[in-house]
Structures are given as structure tokens and as C-alpha cells.
Structure 1
Amino acid sequence: MTFRSAVRDGTTLHCRAPAKINLVLRVLDCLPNGYHEIWSLMQAVDVTDEIIVRVDPNGSGISLRCNDPRLPIGAGNLAYRAAHMVIEKADRQVGVQIDVVKRIPIGAGLGGGSSDAATVMMALVNLLELGWSEEMMIREAAGLGSDVPFFVKGPSAVVRGWGQEIHPLTLKNPRWVVLVTPPFSIQTGWAYLQLDRARSAVTPLSPRLTELQSQSEVTWDALRGLMENDFESALWFHYPDLRRIKVALLDEGAEAALLSGSGSTVFGVFTERERAEQAVRALKGRAAHVALARPWIASGLEMRD
């Protein structure tokens, strides 16, 4: 149902919400609903936010606390909206307390806000014993944001449409991933605008990517030649540091390096841990956040005492 690691204590769930990277991100035509159609191969990674969700059967309202003062703690927060959606759909009169410890960089193309929202939604479905199916949660998640359904279904998947069409697959022979986040964020809406301005036509999806939609597994070796992100060419001009980070990762021995989402994180994929650790050391002083990660491969809501 999910790939969250969680500990339950009565009316409380302690969860980890993973980040994601886009190993492929194609931005296609604009849809009638205003969203761009996307085609993406997403992979969750083990850089995580910590989420604690508490339900008070005798309380009312939603309260959210976060260790990062930059994030809103009301309806402007996606996790808050996820809690409100579940309570409203379930027609329950309960109090909900959400505590978020942010470790995933904000506005960095790693899906932290979407992952937090999916985690809160699934935690409340569990705590309130609502019995929602995975299909229902994906449908409700799509109403929250385009990346949220992936965090219900992952940890590895081809994502299409505006995020609601998800085809899980297994990535074989996992690699080490180095995440490099510069000291600035990029607003997603602005990035889409720059992309629209920078191109005169949409390049059709390649046959090799289309084939992935029917596969149940793929190797990292096979993916290496397929990795691309349409946002790169549109954003390099505005943020030359992103290109420099990508070149630095390749110089440090990455098999491939790519912008994640609409940025600002650039990641490198490494075969050997030693080379990945060396890249972390080399890039520490050149970015606001550098992390060594592995693909998140667990599935099912893991309950631990």
C-alpha cells in the first residue's frame, strides 16, 4: 500500500517520508485542466522527513508544527491539506496533531512536501481504520498535487498524465546517489513557464521510453542512456551553477548526473560507494546541502514496536 517506515503507538504513528529523484522527466503537452502532461521515471531515496501523526478522538481541528520556520503550518501546507481532506472524506470529528521534522531540502525538486502529504494521508487512513483501497488513496492524492500519488504507490514507477497514472517497476542493481542542492530554490510554476518559452515544439516520447511502460523491471545499466530532464535546457541559462554541479558530479566519477524535478537539486548516480563518498566530500563546500543516498526499496506499511 505504501513504502513508509512507521511505528504505531495507540493513536500515534511515527513515520519516515522519503524524497524522490526523477531518473527521466519528459514534459509533454498542456492538458485541458491546466497541468502539463508528464512522463517520468521516479525513484524514492532514503533521505527522509520525520512525520508524527496523532489522533485525539475527543478533540477537534488540525494542528501542525514544523522545525523549519519557512514552511506554513496552516492550509498553505500540503500535509495539513491532506489531513483536512481525510477528515472531511471520512466525516470524522477528531483532533489531529502533525509534527514534521524537515530533512529533505525545500523547493529542490525532491518532492518533500508531496511525500509529507502522502504520509499524513496514509497515516490517518491507518489510525482511523478507514480501509481505503490503494486505488482510492491514489485518486484522492491526485487532488492534492501531481507528485503525491507516486508517494502512495512507489518506490519505483513510471508516472504519466498529471501524476495520477502510475506503473510500478523494479530497478535492478541499485546504485549510490549523491544529492547536491545549491543555496536557492526554484518555483515549479516559474520553471514550467521558462520551459514553455524556451521551446517551440514538444519532442515526442521515444520508443525506448514507451517500452518501459510495459516492463516490470529495468536495470540501472539500461537506464543510463535514457536519463533526461526537459527542464535542464530551460534552466541552465538562468542558473549556470546547476550545470556546473552536474559537470562536477561527472568529473567525480558519476555514471550519470541529472536535475531532479524542476530543480534545484542535481544528483549523480555512482556504482561504488567509495566514489560516491568522495564526491560528497568534494562538493560539500560548493552547495547548501549534499547527501549520500540509496534507493528506497521497501514496500508495505512497516509497523514496528
Structure 2
Amino acid sequence: MTRPHEDSPSPSRSAVTVFAPAKLNLILRVLDRRPDGFHNVWSLMQTVGLEDAVAIRLAPQHTEIRLQCDSHSLSSDQTNLVYRAAAAVLAQLQQKIGLDIQLAKRIPMGAGLGGGSSDAAATILGINRILNVGWSAAKMAEIGQELGSDVPFFFHAPTAVVAGRGEQVRAIHLADSRWAVLVNPGFPVETKWAYQQLSTTRQGVTPLSGRCAQLESQSRTTWDEVISLTSNDFEGPVFAAHPLLQKIKLDLLSQGAQLALLSGSGATVFGIFREEAGARQAAAFFHGRSELKTFVAKTNSGQLRVE
């Protein structure tokens, strides 16, 4: 019997645009090192309504993947995650199909917001829709895992507990929405460097708390519970190297954030606010500092969205 992914795709539409949301790490624990050299992580991840857009169009006049990006600092070749995602899908389908892809970036790069991973997930979903492949979220996440550890999460958004190298994802319901203020300093923090610093500066690995382990088994949680558990293991070494980021966190708290935290390995720091007015007032506090990029976005509103 022929497996589903070997069937010739039957296009259902010629073009789609998929909106790719940013993610925040509400909790991020870096645990033991794995035999493959990577670390196990445990994270509660949440999407927000700050989005890139991936526009995909069938191109019958050629059989290539042609990618254009509106950011000059991002390549449009085989090193781009969008290109790699498209190539991975076509390899699974064992097809050579012409695709014209346009990537509109709004999520800062190297920012701890998962922009590249979200773009890759959007590409997988978009081609799945165009070609009417019918893959499940689990199948798309499996393909995405080969591209980056954050990619599978976006097929289970808006909120999920993520473990292992990112391949273990379980959606959880986080009641109510909040408003996030994202402050990016205008420079990236390289993930590999952050892991190296963490390995050399901390004395052993603190085990995952019982409360976090319990959260993993729950079907829902609340903001009060999340606020009581929030932490990011990267803050120590990253703040030591970049004191500005710690200052941003303190400023967000002083402006009334219920919680403030580094996202991923940085460099974005975010604050969570109960009301939109409070979030926008806090964002205005940073507007006079030209080196900072500030965004206000709603939680629970950011999911892969096809138009």
C-alpha cells in the first residue's frame, strides 16, 4: 500500500498566506546534557500576536523554490529556514514543484522569539494547504523537528509544555488573555554562546520542581500559577554579559508588569500586563530610547493562521 506522503498531491488552491506568530517562554529550564550533546529543556511556551507573513504561490512555470525576503539581513537561499522547510516538505512528497515564497519579517531576528521556527512551521502548513496533503499536526511537527527544536510547538499553539529537545509538546489551556510588552535591544544573543555560558557558569543542574512536573500533567493552568513558577535559566549568564537586559526587566516590573522575563536565550525581554492600557503605557516608557524596539501584543491571539 502506498503511504500517504508518497501520493501525488492535488493542489486545492494556488496560493496562501500564513501568518507566523512569535513565542514567549513563560518558564524555561535547561536540564541535563543528552548523549547527542544537546540539552534537555522544559518550557511553558506561549504565542503572541506579533507575526511574520509567509506568502506561498504555486509556480508551474518552473520547478524551483524561489524565496524573497523583505529583510536584507536574512538570506534567501538554502540556509533560510523557510527554504529548508519547503524543501523538506517536497522531499517527503517526493515531488519537484515550483514554489514562489515571499517572507515579510516583523519578528526581530536572534531575539528569543522563535521567528525563524515559526516561519518554518508556517511554510510547512502553507504547502500542506496548497497541495491538499492532509497531514496532521503531529506529522507536520515531525518534519519541523528536523529543522529546529522550537518548530513543533507552533503546531500545538497557543500554549504548550515543551520538553526534550522540543519534540515533546503537549498543549495546555491558559485561561484568559494578557497583554505582552516585548522590548528588544537591537542586538542578538547567539543561542550556542548562551548554552556555553550556562554550562561554564552554573554549578550543576537544579532538578525540575515538583510544581512544574505537576503542571505538565494538567490540562489547564492560570496566570497566577504561571507567575508563581516563572523563571529562565539563561537570565544569569545573559544578564551578566548584557546588563541592559536586566535593566529592561526591572523597568518593566517598575511599570507594573505582573511578570517580566528574558525570552529564550534572548535578547528580547517581555513583561505581562493584565490590561492593554497598562501595557501601552509601559511601552511608551521605552519609546524615547532609539536603540530599543518595543512591541505590544496580545497573548492567546497568536496561532498559525492561513488566509
Give the shorter-chain TM-score range.
Answer: over 0.9
AA matched with 2:50: V
Q: Which residue of 1 aligns with 2:154?
A: 151
Q: Which residue of 2 aligns with 1:5?
A: none
Secondary structure in structure 2 of the residue aligned to 1:92: coil
Question: How far 1:33 sits from its partner (Å)?
Answer: 2.0
* Contact persistence 2:13–2:131 (CA under 8 A): no
Distance in 2 between residues matched to 1:302 and 1:19, nearest whole Å? 12
Distance in 2 between residues matched to 1:121 and 1:190, nearest whole Å? 29
Secondary structure in structure 2 of the residue aligned to 1:174: coil
AA matched with 2:54: I
- Give yes or no for the alignment of 1:217 onto 2:215: no
Distance in 1 between residues matched to 2:71 and 2:152, nearest whole Å? 25
Question: How far 1:75 sits from its partner (Å)?
Answer: 1.1
Q: Detail structure 1 runs of 4+ shifted over 3 Å in the superposition.
A: 296-299, 301-304
* Contact persistence 1:59–1:93 (CA under 8 A): no
**Among residues 255, 258, 275, which one is paired with 1:272 in the alignment?**
275
**Among residues 179, 184, 189, which one is paired with 2:182 in the alignment?**
179
Distance in 1 between residues matched to 2:107 and 2:29, nearest whole Å? 23
Distance in 2 between residues matched to 1:302 and 1:184, nearest whole Å? 29
Q: Deviations over 1:149-179 (max 9, x none)?
A: 0012211000000000001011112211100
Secondary structure in structure 2 of the residue aligned to 1:213: helix
TM normalised by structure 2 equals: 0.93
Question: How far 1:34 sits from its partner (Å)?
Answer: 2.1
- Give yes or no for the alignment of 1:292 onto 2:291: no
* Contact persistence 1:18–1:296 (CA under 8 A): no
* Contact persistence 2:286–2:292 (CA under 8 A): no
Q: Please show how residues 17-96 of structure 1 align to structure 2 within 5 Å.
A: 17-96=20-99
In terms of mean alpha carbon deviation, does 261-270 or 31-40 score higher?
31-40
- Give yes or no for the alignment of 1:241 onto 2:244: yes
Show structure 2 runs of 5+ residues with no match.
1-10
* Contact persistence 1:22–1:42 (CA under 8 A): yes
Distance in 2 between residues matched to 1:140 and 1:68, nearest whole Å? 26
Instruction: Tell me the matched-pair count.
Output: 296
* Contact persistence 1:57–1:93 (CA under 8 A): no
**Among residues 9, 13, 19, which one is paired with 1:10 in the alignment?**
13
Show structure 1 runs of 5+ residues with no match.
1-7
AA matched with 1:293: A
AA matched with 1:69: H
Q: Deviations over 1:194-234 (max 9, x none)?
A: 11111120000000000111111111111111000000011
Q: Deviations over 1:44-67 (max 9, x none)?
A: 000000110111245211111011
* Contact persistence 1:185–1:264 (CA under 8 A): yes
Distance in 2 between residues matched to 1:49 and 1:100, nearest whole Å? 7
Q: Which residue of 2 aligns with 1:3?
A: none
**Among residues 194, 198, 202, which one is paired with 1:195 in the alignment?**
198
Q: Please show how residues 85-164 of structure 1 align to structure 2 within 5 Å.
A: 85-164=88-167
Secondary structure in structure 2 of the residue aligned to 1:285: coil
Distance in 2 between residues matched to 1:139 and 1:243, nearest whole Å? 36
Q: Which residue of 1 aligns with 2:6?
A: none
Secondary structure in structure 1 of the residue aligned to 2:247: helix
* Contact persistence 2:184–2:269 (CA under 8 A): yes
Distance in 2 between residues matched to 1:32 and 1:60, nearest whole Å? 40
Q: Which residue of 2 aligns with 1:4?
A: none
AA matched with 2:300: W
* Contact persistence 2:22–2:302 (CA under 8 A): no
AA matched with 2:296: L
Q: Deviations over 1:54-90 (max 9, x none)?
A: 1124521111101101001111101110000001110
* Contact persistence 2:12–2:132 (CA under 8 A): no
Distance in 1 between residues matched to 2:170 and 2:256, nearest whole Å? 31
